Amino acid sequence: MSLAEMAKPALPSSTLRSYATIGIVLYAFGVLLNEMGNGLTQLWLVPFADTISALGFVVAVYTASLSGVGTRLTVFLGLIYGVGTFYVSEPDATYAASGLKIGAYSHDVGLGLIGFTLLLLIALSFYLTRTKKARVSPPRIDAGIVTQPSPQTS
């Protein structure tokens, strides 16, 4: 880490939490558009919905990296996201040929893996940016010792 990177001020936790919220809202909006496009046979919506969902995931990864989530964990979660994308986007013939078909629920499994990854990234971002209360111990008063004025001597 260079001196310039160490000198940069850290973003406040409220900013990071708002980024995380933006990421989850974008992802949810993308999934909603995707389901509407597939359910109502408005297939022109699907590419836009996938792009919006992916943008939500990118915002979540960006937020997690700013919050301090480690590289190894981020790569591992990216792999889970990739497997979920495989199950969501590939046709059933690809699952059958690869031997990775999970019954008739492959699309739902993929959405579940992608959603799990996104929610875990957001939860880690919120956990790592939580505010910590300062420990302040109350003043100790000993009830057994009572100070009395000393007699004045002249």
Separation in Å, CA 92 to CA 74, 88, 100: 29, 10, 10
Check: CB of residue 68 under 8 Å from CB of residue 74. no
What pTM, to 2 d.p., does this model score? Answer: 0.69
- Centre a 10 Å sphere on the Cβ of residue 62 and count the other Cβ atoms it contains: 16
Could you give the residue ranges of the DSSP H alpha helices within 68-105?
71-89, 92-98
- How far is 118 from 139, CA to CA, in rounded Å? 45
In the chain, % of residues over pLDDT 90 = 17
Which residue, among 82, 76, 64, has the nearest Cα to 121 in the 3D structure? 64
Statement: residue 130 has pLDDT above 90 = no
What interhelical angle do 106-128 and 13-39 show, nearest 10? 170
How confident is the model over 41-51, as a mean pLDDT? 87
Go through the chain and tell me how many residues it has. 154
Query: Which residues have a Cβ under 8 Å from the Cβ of 133 and sit 6 or more positions away?
Result: none
Statement: residue 7 has pLDDT above 60 = no
Statement: residue 140 has pLDDT above 90 = no
Question: Residue 108's pLDDT band (boundaries 50, 70, 90)?
Answer: confident
Tokens matching residue 129: 């940016």
How confident is the model over 104-117, as a mean pLDDT? 86
Question: Residue 42's pLDDT band (boundaries 50, 70, 90)?
Answer: confident
